[in-house]
Amino acid sequence: MESHDLALTMTGPAPEESTADSAQALERAMGGDRAAFDELLRCYERRVLMTAWRILGSKEDAQDAAQEVFLRLYRQLQRVDPKRPLMPWLYRMTCIGSAAGTQTCGWRKPIVQAQRVIRPVKSRGPNRSK
């Protein structure tokens, strides 16, 4: 699959998906069925995009991150266990990829930079010494 073949957009509601349907589509995709992979993409696209958008704060950056997640899924199809739900794997890859993007790729600039924290000194009271 070429990277330009995968265009992610958020159009319409996310299709309903059952675990059995997803597992079957995953197994077919593992066997080389491109339509099955497209089915997986349609099922999970919105959730991956929204997760990345919450992390990155930008629709364009979220689309880039989501595209990377689905490319990673495509490249690693043979390593995914079809007996396990796919969404936890996608969620983890989305979080890892988006976090890496915020730190190394400059996808998102920090809203607030870390500053020195000054804590108030507790008063010992008038009658207390040391």
Find the CATH number of the domain harbouring 92.
1.10.1740.10
Is position 128 within any domain? no
* Mean pLDDT of all residues in 16-26: 75
pLDDT at 61 over 80: yes
Is position 70 within any domain? yes
pLDDT for residue 28: 95
Is position 78 within any domain? yes
pLDDT at 17 over 60: no
97 φ, ψ (degrees, to nearest 5): -65, -40
Is position 101 within any domain? yes
Is position 122 within any domain? no
Residue that wins the pLDDT comparison between 127 and 27: 27
Distance in angstroms (rounded) separating the CA atoms of residues 11 and 74: 22
Distance in angstroms (rounded) separating the CA atoms of residues 12 and 122: 56
Buried/exposed code over 106-115 (b: 16+ C-beta within 10 A; e: otherwise): ebbeeeeeee
Q: Which of 27, 29, 38 is nearest to 15 (CA)?
A: 38
3-class DSSP state for residue 82?
coil
pLDDT over 70 percentage in the chain: 61
Tally of domains in the chain: 1
Is position 87 within any domain? yes
* Mean pLDDT of all residues in 3-11: 47
Domain housing 78: 18-105
pLDDT for residue 23: 87
Q: Which of 45, 68, 44, 63 is nearest to 53 (CA)?
A: 63
Is position 8 within any domain? no
Is position 34 within any domain? yes
